[in-house]
Amino acid sequence: MSHHRALQAETVKFRGHNGDHGEAYCARPIAAGKYPGIVVIHHLPGWDEWIIEVVRKLAHHGYAAISPHLYFREGSDSPDDIGARVRAAGGVADAQIMGDVAGAMAYLRAQPNATGKIGVIGFCSGGRHCYLAACTLSGIDAAVDCWGGNVIVDNPKDLNDKRPVAPIDLTVKLNCPLLGIFGNDDANPTADQVNRTEAVLKRLGKNYEFHRYNGAGHAFFNTSRDAYRPEQALDGWNKVFVFFGRHLAAAATTIAAE
C-alpha cells in the first residue's frame, strides 16, 4: 500500500479535440518515481469541486490524474455558469468529448514520470463517456464506469447529432478491462439496464466486473450530496483502487487503513 501525501496539484494546459488548447486539473505525487495516469471525466453539471477532489484522491493513491475541463471552449466564467450554458445548448458532442479525453491521455503520457499505463474513470454522464472511450479510443489500459446512464438507449429518438450512437452498440469494440460501479436504487441506469449491459459484455466475452450496491442510488460516492452512502462508497473506492492497481501495475491499495 502506498499513499502520497505530498502532491503537485495545479491547473495545466492541454491540447484537446481538434488541437484546441484547454485547461485541466492535474495532480500527481511529488516523490520521485514513475506513476500510471488516470483521466477523470466529469459529469454534466461541470468541472466542480468534487471532481477536483477526486483527482487529488487518485494522486494520493499513487497516480498522475487529470480532469480536463470539458467545457473550456465556453470561456473562463465560473464552472457552474459554463455548465448551465452547455446544458442549455444540449450538452457537448460525444466526438468532442472523446477528442478531449484522448488529449488528456496524451498529456499524461508526455510527462517524464509516466509509466505509460493509462486508466479512465467517469461519473454519471462521465461514466457513459468512459464507456464510449473504452470502446472507441486506443491506449486505455483500464476503464471505470461509475453509474453512467444512457449506455443503453431504448428510445431511438434520444439519439441525435451530438450523441448519435448508443454506447452499448459499440461494446464489441471494447478493448480494455472495464469496472462498473452501480447503485441498485438508481433511476438511470436502472438495475435492469445494468443487467442488460452486463449481458452484452458477457455474450461478447469482454473482460469486465460489475459491482452493485443495495441502499445506494445515483452518485453515492459524492460527499457533497444527500445521495452519499459512506459504507457503499468506501467499498466502491476500494474496488476502484484494486482494479486500477491490478491493471495499471501500481501497488494495489485500500483506503480502509488510511
| Residue numbers at the binding site for other proteins (CB under 8 A) | 43-46, 48, 75, 77, 80-81, 83-85, 87-88, 90-91, 124-125, 128, 147-150, 186-189, 217-219, 224-227
Distance of closest approach, residue 228 Cβ to other proteins, in angstroms: 9
Comparing CB distances to other proteins, the nearer of 103 and 148 is 148
Comparing CB distances to other proteins, the nearer of 124 and 248 is 124
| CA gap 123, 148 in Å, rounded | 6
| CA gap 7, 141 in Å, rounded | 24
Contacts of 128 (CB under 8 A, 6+ apart): 122, 145, 148, 149, 150, 151, 167
Distance of closest approach, residue 152 Cβ to other proteins, in angstroms: 11
Distance of closest approach, residue 121 Cβ to other proteins, in angstroms: 16
Distance of closest approach, residue 146 Cβ to other proteins, in angstroms: 11
Comparing CB distances to other proteins, the nearer of 202 and 225 is 225
Comparing CB distances to other proteins, the nearer of 99 and 189 is 189
* Angle, CA 229 vertex, CA 226 and CA 233 arms, to 5°: 130
Comparing CB distances to other proteins, the nearer of 8 and 160 is 160
Report the relative pairing of strands 178-183 and 142-146 from DSSP bridges. parallel
Distance of closest approach, residue 6 Cβ to other proteins, in angstroms: 31
Distance of closest approach, residue 226 Cβ to other proteins, in angstroms: 5
| CA gap 53, 36 in Å, rounded | 18
Comparing CB distances to other proteins, the nearer of 77 and 231 is 77
Return the SS3 of 152. Answer: coil
| CA gap 258, 253 in Å, rounded | 10
Return the SS3 of 168. Answer: helix
| CA gap 44, 182 in Å, rounded | 18
For residues 232 and 213, the answer to whether their CB atoms sit within 8 Å is: yes
Contacts of 170 (CB under 8 A, 6+ apart): 132, 135, 136
Comparing CB distances to other proteins, the nearer of 36 and 148 is 148
Distance of closest approach, residue 83 Cβ to other proteins, in angstroms: 6
| CA gap 54, 32 in Å, rounded | 22
For residues 229 and 236, the answer to whether their CB atoms sit within 8 Å is: no
| CA gap 171, 133 in Å, rounded | 11
